[in-house]
Amino acid sequence: MSETKLKPPLTLLLASPRGFCAGVDRAIQIVELAIEKYGPPVYVRHEIVHNRYVVEELERKGAVFVEELDEVPQGAKVIFSAHGVPKSVPEDAKARDLFYLDATCPLVSKVHVEAERLHARGLEILLIGHAGHPEVIGTMGQLPDGAVKLIETVADAEAFSPADPAKLAFVTQTTLSVDDTAEIVAVLRRRFPSIAGPHKEDICYATTNRQEAVKAIAPRAEAVLVIGAPNSSNSMRLVEVAERAGCRYAALVQRASDIDWAALGDVKSVGLTAGASAPDVLVEEVIAAFRERFDVTVEETSAARESVQFKLPRALAG
């Protein structure tokens, strides 16, 4: 009689907090409640959050995702994604008689308000962020063309030449690397000591907490897997944070089927987290995939507790 082959032992270091943040949770609820209240189809401009699984689940319920408003039939109902939109988008929606709901994360809206407030003071605005990201496009679109200059790197901060060094301010994308952003801000403050900044840190609590949680597990893990989408800024930053915290192998996976088992080899410890737009069902899926191959012990490491909740739009509340 053949002996049952024993699975090798593995410790899964589970980062906490991980997965959905309050802004993502609110945005998904807005789509689900709109479909429930108004009936399908409800159109959504851009992915409501950067996660394919979430998008496909909402499509099954009756959401139709489009890139631009000209794909939305006149008089239809449309939702703007959690990343925020330029001012021109709601203006276009009104012109086309579209009923719209804005699912922009309130912490992104806060950055929009800050940029407008600083611009109203006659200051030249610098936005620290990544070119082409929907949040950056939305923030730059709050002000007239050319009013916001994008700073992506320390080199950009060193090279920037302002119209007036005494009239300068900065805001940031909410999903950046905390450490990278601090380096860029340090250069700007050194070069322009009077530069104005946000009253409160623009990088959101969820991004900060998830990065701190990865820093806590990465030095103890032989590999770190981040569940998230390639176009998710906060997920990609988690991979970078893991590498910088001393982990030899860090990778982004969208689903359990993306795991490169050969690259993991005979690891004894793996860190696991999820970006702010990745649902917990995908974390459970990855844990189950590890259990099929290893004798798994799960250790959860908590870096912070989150209790933030955001109100729903009045049209859907109650």
One domain for residues 157 and 240: no
Q: Are residues 101 and 112 in the same domain?
A: no
Residues ≥6 apart with Cβ < 8 Å to 180: none
- Give the model confidence (pLDDT) of 129-143 as tens digits: 999 999 999 999 999
Question: For the packed helices 205-217 and 178-191, what is the interaxial angle rounded to 10 degrees?
Answer: 120
**Over pLDDT 90: what percentage of the chain?**
93
Kindly state the average pLDDT of the residues 88-113.
95
**Gap between the Cα atoms of 164 and 247, Å rounded:** 43
Q: Is residue 159 part of a domain?
A: yes
Residue 143 C-alpha from the chain's centroid: 23
Verify that 15 and 38 share a domain, yes or no.
no
pLDDT average, residue stretch 54-66: 97
The confidence band for 270, taking pLDDT boundaries of 50, 70 and 90, is: very high
The residue segments making up the domain with residue 134 are: 107-191
Determine whether 135 is an active site residue: yes
Q: Do 124 and 82 share a structural domain?
A: no
Residue 175 located in a structural domain = yes
The residue out of 44, 73, 105 marking a domain boundary is 105
Mean per-residue pLDDT over the chain, rounded: 95
Q: Tokens for 238, please give them.
A: 């988690």
Question: For residue 1, is it within any domain?
Answer: no
Based on the domain organization, do 141 and 159 belong to the same domain?
yes
Q: Which of 135, 156, 191 is the last residue of a domain?
A: 191
Across 166-171, average pLDDT:
97
Whether 313 maps to a domain, the answer reads no
For residue 98, give the CATH number of its domain.
3.40.50.11270
Running DSSP on this structure, what letter comes out for residue 196? B
Considering the domain boundaries, does residue 84 fall inside one?
Answer: yes
Provide the whole-model pTM: 0.93
| Residue in 36, 114, 135, 284 annotated catalytic | 135
Both 220 and 184 in one domain: the answer is: no
- Section 277-289 average pLDDT: 97
Whether the per-residue pLDDT at 299 is higher than 90: the answer is yes
Number of domains composing the chain: 3
In a domain, 94, yes or no: yes
Neighbours of 253 (CB within 10 A): 20
- Strand order, beta sheet including 9-16: 249-253, 223-227, 269-274, 9-16, 295-302
For residue 128, the domain's CATH number is 3.40.1010.20
pLDDT at 318 exceeding the cut of 90: no
Question: Is there a single domain that holds both residue 259 and residue 183?
Answer: no
Same domain, yes or no: 111 and 94: no
- Residue 176 and residue 118 share a domain: yes
pLDDT higher than threshold 70 for residue 68: yes
Domain boundary among 63, 78, 105: 105
Q: Are residues 230 and 215 located together in one domain of the fold?
A: yes
pLDDT confidence of 1, banded at 50, 70, 90? very low
pLDDT band at 201 (very low <50, low <70, confident <90, very high): confident
- Asked if 71 and 144 sit in the same domain, the reply is no
Rounded mean pLDDT, 37-65: 96
The total of other beta-carbon atoms located within 10 Å of residue 300's CB is 13
pLDDT band at 4; cut points 50, 70, 90:
low
Q: Is 2 a member of any domain? A: no
**292 in the same domain as 280:** yes
pLDDT bracket for residue 3 (50, 70, 90) = low
- Residues 95-112 have a mean pLDDT of 95
Is residue 318 a part of any domain in this protein?
no
pLDDT band at residue 276, thresholds of 50, 70 and 90? very high
- Give the pLDDT of residue 317: 76
Span 155-167, average pLDDT: 97
